[in-house]
């Protein structure tokens, strides 16, 4: 273990900042040197945040029917609108040609469809695609489409940045800026769905992008409801996986929804001291509390819990770590998803050697613990696990 490798920058571990103002015209930063003398004031010109109409899919089916009634339209128009959003994959209200022109104009006056801007669209050698979206307030968020045989899996984000401070993950390099709204979560899904050709459908959703999903459960759950609804994407709940660093109360809240979502707990270490170094929030939670909540999730839902474990070369990938993890999970209905570290330029970690990874797998299997090694997808475009971050914002940072 290299000295100082776990020294986290204050920016990554500080408490989340307050939500940004609804409107601003610019900001100034006055730099003061250590001797107290002021420097020049830097001017950052930021355009006012534009007014944005609500996204049409933020309306519940009942809300949309009520809106149609208020416009003196028959209720079946609401179903037609939903079909255009989720099945026909239209990109604008003007494209909804099965609707009367007057209704299309009304929709455009009251709602938005895909208001975020695609800043970058990258395609990896393995056909993984990543979108960098700019939201109405200038915030940036990433989401990914992965192809594997007949599976079409998307990875979506729930926050701008992340406040959990995991030392090996790029998503939290700039700290937490804010939660995404339900509409901003759903727009990622719709954007990625529209990358598929006719005849192909999304098969799986993993909520493993930027941010801690359970820290934004209030906005995530309504989005998942639309994905599983018959008049939404009609995905089975068992095709949706929610990842968490381990927030016990929120794990139990997710279990009580009655949905059969898959739960993936980001464990990354088999004992408290090492986990706290890798996942700083563990200091206030503890491994036992996380495991107890995961056990409750299994008891309530009947769904086997997956434990994600990023293998960091010479840090948490030793045989002794594998044996500790085996003892921890051997009596549980659990599955381990090993994730060899994906390179992040800004972070001082290395991926484990192939022999070390194979040995780790063998030791876990000797304890009767099911284990798989996650396939690397989109690493050449920084779309693999742990690589998502607001790279454009990082490139714009000025070091004084």
Known catalytic residue at 155: no
Output the DSSP codes for 26-78. -EEEEEE-TTS-EEEEEEE--PPPPP-PPBGGGS-HHHHHHHHHHTT--THHH
**What's the burial of 376, exposed, middle or buried (CB within 10 Å: 0-12/13-18/19+)?**
middle
Backbone angles phi, psi at 35, to 5 degrees: -85, 5
Relative to beta strand 262-266, strand 159-161 is: unpaired
Listed as own residue / partner, the contacts of 316-324 with beta carbons closer than 8 Å and 24 or more positions apart are 316/268, 316/269, 316/270, 316/274, 316/278, 317/352, 317/356, 317/357, 317/360, 319/359, 319/360, 319/363, 321/269, 321/270, 321/274, 321/360, 322/359, 322/360, 322/363, 322/364, 323/363, 323/367, 324/270, 324/271
CA proximity to 92, closest of 65, 109, 113, 74: 113
Contacts of 305 (CB under 8 A, 6+ apart): 263, 264, 265, 294, 297, 298, 332, 333, 334, 335
Sequence-distant (≥ 6) Cβ neighbours of residue 299 within 8 angstroms: none
Q: In 210-341, where do the E strands start and end?
A: 240-244, 262-266, 305-311, 334-340
Give the CA-trace dihedral at 291, 182, 130, 134, to 10 degrees.
-130
Please indicate whether residue 68 is annotated as part of the active site: no
Give strand pairing partners of 152: 147
C-alpha span between 171 and 266 (Å, rounded)? 14
E strand or H helix at 150: none
The one catalytic residue in 142, 184, 212, 351 is 142
Residue 176's DSSP bridge partners are: 161
Q: Are 334 and 307 in contact (CB under 8 A)?
A: yes
- Nearest residue to 223 (alpha-carbon basis) of 211, 233, 215, 238: 233
Q: Look up tokens 């990258």; give the residue.
A: 122
Between CA 26 and CA 23 the distance in angstroms is: 10
Catalytic residues: 142, 385
């Amino acid at each position: 273990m290299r000295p100082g490798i776990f020294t986290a920058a204050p920016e990554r571990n500080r408490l989340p900042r307050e939500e940004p103002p609804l409107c601003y015209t610019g900001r100034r930063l006055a730099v003061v040197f250590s001797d107290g003398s002021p420097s020049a004031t830097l001017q950052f010109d930021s355009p006012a945040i534009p007014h944005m109409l609500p996204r049409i899919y933020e309306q519940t089916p009942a809300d949309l029917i009520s809106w149609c009634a208020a416009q003196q339209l028959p209720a079946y128009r609401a179903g037609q609108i939903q079909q255009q959003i989720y099945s026909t994959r239209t990109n604008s209200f003007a494209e909804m040609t099965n609707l009367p022109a007057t209704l299309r104009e009304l929709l455009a006056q009251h709602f938005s469809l895909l208001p975020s801007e695609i800043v970058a669209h990258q395609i990896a050698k393995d056909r993984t695609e990543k979108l960098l979206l700019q939201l109405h307030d200038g915030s940036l968020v990433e989401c990914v489409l992965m192809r594997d045989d007949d599976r079409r899996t998307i990875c979506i984000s729930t926050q701008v940045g992340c406040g959990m401070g995991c030392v090996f993950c790029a998503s939290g390099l700039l700290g937490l800026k804010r939660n995404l709204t339900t509409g901003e979560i759903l727009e990622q899904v719709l954007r990625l769905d529209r990358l598929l050709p006719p005849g192909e459908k999304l098969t799986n959703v993993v909520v493993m992008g930027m941010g801690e999903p359970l820290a934004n459960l209030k906005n995530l759950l309504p989005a998942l409801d639309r994905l599983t609804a018959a008049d939404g994407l009609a995905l089975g709940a068992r095709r949706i996986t929610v990842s968490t660093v381990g927030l016990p109360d929120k794990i139990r809240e997710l279990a009580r929804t009655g949905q059969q979502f898959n739960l993936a707990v980001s464990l990354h270490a088999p004992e408290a001291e090492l986990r706290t170094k890798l996942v700083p929030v563990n200091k206030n939670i503890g491994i036992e509390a996380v495991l107890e909540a995961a056990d409750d999730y299994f008891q309530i839902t009947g769904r086997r819990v997956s434990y994600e474990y990023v293998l960091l070369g010479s840090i948490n990938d030793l045989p002794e770590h594998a044996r500790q993890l085996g003892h921890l999970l051997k009596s549980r209905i659990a599955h381990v998803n090993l994730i060899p570290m994906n390179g992040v330029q800004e972070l001082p970690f290395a991926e484990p050697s192939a022999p070390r990874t194979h040995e780790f797998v063998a030791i876990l299997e000797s304890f009767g613990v099911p284990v798989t090694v996650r396939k690397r997808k989109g690493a050449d475009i920084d779309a693999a696990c742990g690589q998502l971050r607001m790279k454009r914002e990082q490139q714009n940072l000025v070091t004084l």
